[in-house]
Every structure is written in structure tokens, then in C-alpha cells.
Amino acid sequence: DVRDGLKPVHRRILYAMSELGMSPDKPYKKSARIVGEVIGKYHPHGDTAVYDTMVRMAQDFSLRYMLVDGHGNFGSVDGDMAAAMRYTEARLSKIAMEMLRDLNKETVDFMPNYDGEENEPVVLPARYPNLLVNGVGGIAVGM
């Protein structure tokens, strides 16, 4: 969506991390925990697609301003793959917090998730122009 510059899977990862309280001042949590939260509540697709997208958001060579602060082996510019999700950890970056700021102040609409048990934001408030800053590519997931 051009309003926040994110695809649904990116938005769902950031929102799930926010709901888990994974701010930059908190300890890292296992990537597998994040992926499980995302596919369990918001994005009922393969765990690989979600993890690969989260990895990309943590790579300084993929985005100008990383939205995920990764800890561990998140791959290299030479094409080395990231370590398995059970070995890596992550939390939100400081700039990602600007994407999520004011989310609890009814600044954006929410919609039911795939099974109607949870609600998720239609877009994020995005206090900076993520689409211009980080760009976007591909049709579905950002890998």
C-alpha cells in the first residue's frame, strides 16, 4: 500500500513484533517465535516466506533503513543465506517504531484477520515515507 510503503506480510511482521513488545530497548527474541506469531495470527502461509521477508527487513544491504534489528547470521551481500530461524533473533528497529507510532490512537483502520479472531491494521501510521526511503520490488513477498 502506498500509504505506508509495505506489503501485507511486511506490515504483519512489524505489527506482530509490536504486539510482542519487541521495541529497540527490549532484548532480542528468537526469530522462530516471531514467525510463529505472524503465521498463527495474521499470515497463514508458509513460514519460509515470512522468515525470508523478515530477514530482508534486517539486511543493511537490502534496505536503506532496516525495519528489523537482527541478531545473528542474516545472510550477506555475497549471497550467503541467513541461518535458520531457530538460530537468529530480532527486535524492531528505531525507525520501525516510527512506522508504528500512534497505532493505538485510532489513526488507522483495523480489519479482521483471516479467521476473524484477531484484528490487524489496514495500513500502519507511517510517520516517514517508507516507500520513498526503502522502495519496493516484486509482486508478492519481498525476498
- Give domain status of residue 138, yes or no: no
- Give domain status of residue 142, yes or no: no
Q: Quote the domain boundaries for residue 25.
A: 8-128
- Give domain status of residue 116, yes or no: yes
51, 87, 114, 128: which one is catalytic? Answer: 87
Annotated active-site residue 42? The verdict is no
- Give domain status of residue 13, yes or no: yes
pLDDT tens digits along 18-40: 999 999 999 999 999 999 999 99
Amino acid of residue 15? Y
Q: Residue 143 has what pLDDT?
A: 47
pLDDT tens digits along 45-97: 889 999 999 999 999 999 999 999 999 999 999 999 999 999 999 999 999 99
Instruction: List beta partners, residue 112.
Output: 119
pTM of the model: 0.92
Number of domains in the chain: 1
Largest pairwise CA distance in the chain: 43
pLDDT tens digits along 98-124: 999 999 999 999 999 999 999 999 999
Listed in order, strand segments (DSSP E) in the chain are 29-30, 68-71, 89-92, 110-112, 119-121
For residues 5-29, average pLDDT: 96
Tell me the CATH number at 48: 3.90.199.10
